[in-house]
Structure 1
Amino acid sequence: YQVNPLAKFQQHQGNEVYIATVDKEHLYPVYKEFGDSGETLDQEDKVYEDATGVKIIRVKAKGYYFRRLVYTNEIFKVVELVKPDVLFVHCVETITAMRFMLKGLKYPMMFDSHMLSMASQNKFAKLYEKLYAAIFGRKIRDKGYIVVRTQDDKYVNGKLGIPEAQTPFISFGTDTILFSPSIEVRNSFRKEHNISEDVFVVVYTGKLTEAKGGMLLAETFKEKFSKEVILVCVGTPPNNEYGEKVRKILKESQNRVIMFPTQKYQELAKFYQMADLSVFPKQCSMSFYDAQACGLPVLSEDNNVNVDRCSYNNGFNFKAGSVEDFRTKIKEVSHMSAKE
């Protein structure tokens, strides 16, 4: 979701952009859990290439180890073949980024990070961070590599030992060609799904996992609100015990809940354009910017990133983990006038 618009706009600026990424046999397991089998990947790549001019190169992988992708050495051969002026390695914390640093290629390299301190919950996190800081944090310092922080969080500084001077915060933003308000889309979507204009619609787009607060969202909509509120949920619960519980609660909700499967990035805008409020039950999401670009206020938990994001009269925060406060904030927003 980050590389997609970034590469497109870099190409629009007159650059020649290549994306080297994994082959369909090794798509990230979470994507497969949500129905992306990769069967149409070749066609989707061609559509993207034809529309943007960006070239996609699919690279073989060895597999996943501790949920981390490990490419074959073909990834380095691809870079040598392209001979880039700048090599941008997505996610400085990954095995791929570490391998590129150790490889010591002759091309200028830069990295990014969208890791948050609150997301660092793995039982081996402290050991990983200590080793990373000692080996790769030092290498980044010595080489002067730039690591762009797409989140206003000091994780890479405090945990990975990378100097602040080398980690500029550049908020990722969104693709405003795709994401913008549309009364026409709002009206047509609501008509198609039998939603009247005076009904308050809450939209959630994302994973319905424990990490993203799937159960919190379901529990929040379990009991009926004082006025008609519809939840449009774009995302499928995972196929495990947790996911089944989330699915059951949403199905039995006293409010109307409309479920959609996980959507392609290019198809997401209409879900924000037809809604009145976008919610993020846990942690934070880059989709915040997509919702905002479509003119939606956002309601999210009160972690440090979300509090800052919603401090410009553009959104609200609820007490993290609190169903009661989550419901209260939804009620308050649903009773606001359009002017408010």
Structure 2
Amino acid sequence: MTSFHKKVDKSIDDEFEKRTGSKIIRLKVVLKISKRVLLKGLFSTIDKLNPDIVFMHGIGDLKDLQLWLSKPSYILVRDCHMSWVASKNKFRHLYYLLFRIFFSRIINESEKYKVIYALGIEEYEYLKHLGLKDKKIDFLKHGYNSEIMRYDYKSRKSIRHSYSVNDNEVLISYIVKLNDNKRPDIIFDIIDNLGETFIKEYSVTLLFIGRSEQEYFEKLLEKKRKLRRI
């Protein structure tokens, strides 16, 4: 799979392997449905590695087909990071029904998936909606390592200097996809409700970083123009 929807640079893989002692294995996509992909030789590749435990990111995709196979020799865990705002698909109710029929029963009644981690309450609600029982769900909540992710005053100064934002002004950063599912344009509505006095007093600046769909980006720009007229 490509990294972050960009073309894979083999030299970056090589450098990472050399620096960390890890090995990167990239498999070809043989089937793609929406954003869900099936990788060629995924299960056989894992078997050859003979692991003790395997973590597979996400649930409700083509990797769940392995549930119809025999129980693996390794411990297999998955996680759920799905939010309701990202699951607004016109076929979602049919999808929930099919998942309950073909996958949830196997997950609930077997040890093929040792556990499915929910990253928060919303993700837990989504797993329950898929028909999974509490005995198969555990929490691995969003968080960070404070020794690695920490406040950096120099970085703050550098970013603000790059965008000509003073220390006493409000800078709000949004770092994720820009589309109708994530709806970052709602931030403009929130700022607008703060009122003209607040906006002018604190010179509110919004910084959007992420891959954007062109049609949605135009909508975002239109809201920006409206806010700037204040």
Assess, with a 3 A threshold, how the Cα gap between structure 1 residues 201 and 75 changes in structure 2: closer, same or farther. same
Task: Choose from 66, 78, 91 the match for 1:111.
Answer: 78
Q: What residue ranges of structure 1 are gaps of 5+ in the alignment?
A: 1-21, 256-340
Assess, with a 3 A threshold, how the Cα gap between structure 1 residues 99 and 233 changes in structure 2: closer, same or farther. same
Deviation, 1:236, is 4.2
Aligned to 1:60: 28
1:78 aligns with 2:45: yes
Q: What TM-score, normalized by structure 1, do the two folds share?
A: 0.57
Q: Is the 8 Å Cα contact of residues 85 and 181 (structure 2) preserved in structure 1?
A: no
1:38 maps to amino acid? K
Q: Distance in 1 between matches of 2:126 and 2:187?
A: 30
1:160 aligns with 2:130: yes
Aligned to 1:102: 68
Matched residue of 1:210: which SS? coil
Task: Choose from 194, 218, 221 the match for 1:247.
Answer: 221
Deviation, 1:149, is 0.9
1:67 maps to amino acid? K
Q: Is the 8 Å Cα contact of residues 174 and 184 (structure 2) preserved in structure 1?
A: no
Q: Tell me the alpha carbon deviations over residues 283-303 of structure 1, each in whole angstroms, 9 at most, x when there is no partner.
A: xxxxxxxxxxxxxxxxxxxxx
- Sequence identity of aligned pairs in percent? 22
Q: Is the 8 Å Cα contact of residues 59 and 78 (structure 2) preserved in structure 1?
A: yes
CA RMSD of aligned residues (A): 2.6
Assess, with a 3 A threshold, how the Cα gap between structure 1 residues 78 and 119 changes in structure 2: closer, same or farther. same
Deviation, 1:250, is 3.4
Task: Choose from 152, 156, 162 the match for 1:182.
Answer: 152
Aligned pairs, number: 220
Alignment of 1:130-209 (within 5 A): 130-144=97-111, 145=113, 146-153=115-122, 154-209=124-179
Matched residue of 1:250: which SS? helix
Aligned to 2:94: 127
Assess, with a 3 A threshold, how the Cα gap between structure 1 residues 226 and 51 changes in structure 2: closer, same or farther. same
Matched residue of 1:59: which SS? coil
2:139 maps to amino acid? F
Q: What TM-score, normalized by structure 2, do the two folds share?
A: 0.82
Assess, with a 3 A threshold, how the Cα gap between structure 1 residues 140 and 44 changes in structure 2: closer, same or farther. same
Q: What residue ranges of structure 2 are gaps of 5+ in the alignment?
A: none
1:66 maps to amino acid? S
Deviation, 1:128, is 1.5
Deviation, 1:198, is 1.4
Aligned to 1:69: 37
Assess, with a 3 A threshold, how the Cα gap between structure 1 residues 215 and 116 changes in structure 2: closer, same or farther. closer
Q: Distance in 2 between matches of 1:238 and 1:192?
A: 25
